[in-house]
A and B are shown apart, each in its own frame.
Chain A
Amino acid sequence: MAETGRLSAAPSFNLRADPVLALRVAIIIAVLVLWQAVAASGLLYRDVVPSLFAIGGALVKLLTSPEYYRNLGVTAGEVGAALLIGGLSGLVVGLILGGSRLLARAYEPYLYYLGPTPKIIFFPIMIMWFGVGPGSKVAMGAISCFFPIALSAAAGMRQIEPILIRVGKSFRANTWQMVSKIYLPAMRHPIINGVRLGLGVAIIGTLLAETKLSNQGLGFLIIQAYSLFDMPRMYAMLIALFMIAIAANAVVGWVGNLDRVKAGAS
């Protein structure tokens, strides 16, 4: 159980006792100081590097505007739907490829080739198929997260201890019981990892699509601020987005650790 302490380490705010945290805070402070120095020096255009106070003000304004939350909701809904569609289909494809050596040898190379391809090249097609509204954004997010989730599920299935499968068979579990009570729980760590990677690329895919062609969502707001040359607002939006990404990742990681705490690291 020594493992548990490390995994669930709650952030302690004692900087002396935690050199890692101290270093993390130090670099943030250094960047902020540097930023403010550049902004104050007037070396670059004021508008490109606005002062921290301008950005802070914009952040407050942003976080208190209902318009922001409406667009945040749109993007979150798109990412959620993308993760659901891309994740479930990735899981099913991963289970099939993981279960059949023949199919894996035939089709997995395609996934490896297509996986790292920038999915934005599919965006024009998605617009034609699903229109300019949220549909095409969901499609972009779903395509993005399908690949990492399918590949981790396939790899995870191949890593299952064969003895556990034999135990299930010896107790005459049917196919559905084998999947729900043995395959999926035995694959929980690779699946959670796949979902974590998938969530990241689903956010990227969706936001990228929103910045290209849309009239709502966070990607749209960022591009709008940019085209109006409202730099403080744009930086504020980026900061807010970072925080959302960190929070989303923390939630997925927390779900994963929850299980490790009870079942050990195995």
Chain B
Amino acid sequence: MSQVASVGAQGSDGILVVDDIVKRFETAEGPLTAVDHVSLSVKPGEFLAVIGPSGCGKSTLFNIVGGLVDSYEGTVTVAGDRVRGPHPAIGMVFQEESTFPWRSVIDNVAFPLEITGMRKTERLERASHFISLVGLDGFERRYPAELSGGMRQRVSIARTLASEPKILLMDEPFAALDEQTRLLLGDKVLQIQQELQQTTLLITHNITEAVQLADRILVMTYRPGRVKRIVDIDLPRPRSSEIVSSEAFGHYVAQIWGDLREEASRGMRDEETRRKA
């Protein structure tokens, strides 16, 4: 576990470098360290997955990297540029339901393009492209209230993809989807990511998803959230969801599950004692 500390500020070669982040929250039960000295570096075009049990500080880290958190210790840099607010190179897909209920699907997806002032015909064209990419053809004029939770999440993914960010941050983007859609949409995202050479940071607690998509997987500990291990995934590219049935895949899943089980059961014990107290 201690070898990991050195992984830290390894990267002058990283386009996204997170250096020694600490984030504490004041809660009713006293201060809570959500993220504890986390460092990581993502190389250009790399797909890094961060995996960890529920409540370990993944979303907190995600929001810090996205520039949406004001006070924390440590630094985040994008191509050497210190992040002090939402960075133009970064696009975020949130864990929570985040579509705009007053906008149709196509207007939701075109939102970031509207913000940058793209012409209407052009942005609607681009939005339609990404809508069909996430398999929502024919739903352009529908409103989020008329869609299922999984479809709404696909709208959010399409919206962020439409802004064509150089760095894509995703916080459990597939959590609301069924297994089949998740695998297929994972393929799509991977395809775009490879085409655009997008640097991607995916936050998840799904092991299959992490191994299917990532070049490297960073396993986090349960509270306080630290880096437990980083695993290189040496599976051939281009990859498709069929890989999940291969032997090497199973090997990686077992390895990460070993790490994660320890943390997850620690988390469950911790929550139980808390409930009793």
Which of A's residues lie within 8 Å of B, judged by CB?
1, 163-164, 166-167, 169-173, 177, 181-182, 185-186, 188, 259, 262-266
Contacts and interface: CB of A to CB of B under 8 A. Distances in A.
Nearest to B112: A171
A185 to B, nearest CB: 5
Interface of B: 63, 66-68, 85-86, 88, 90-92, 94, 96-98, 100-104, 111-112, 114-115, 143-146, 163
A166 B145 contact: no
Nearest to B141: A262
B144 A264 contact: yes
Most chain B beta carbons < 10 A, residue from A173, A181, A263:
A263
A166 B97 CA distance: 12
Contacts of B115: 171-173, 177, 181
A166 B145 CA distance: 20
Contact of B145 (A170, A182, A186, A265): A265
Q: What's the dominant secondary structure at chain A's contact region?
A: helix
**The 10 nearest A-B residue pairs measured at CB:** A264-B145, A170-B92, A171-B112, A185-B102, A163-B96, A266-B101, A263-B143, A163-B98, A263-B102, A173-B115
A169 B146 contact: no
A264 B143 contact: yes
B146 A164 contact: no
Contacts of B88: 172
Nearest to B113: A171
A166 B103 CA distance: 17
Given A170-B68, A170-B92, A264-B144, A164 B100 contact: yes
Most chain B beta carbons < 10 A, residue from A167, A170, A172:
A170
Contacts of B68: 166, 169-170
A166 to B, nearest CB: 6
B91 A170 contact: yes
Given A259-B102, A263-B145, A264-B101, A166 B114 contact: no
Contacts of B66: 170
A188 B146 CA distance: 19
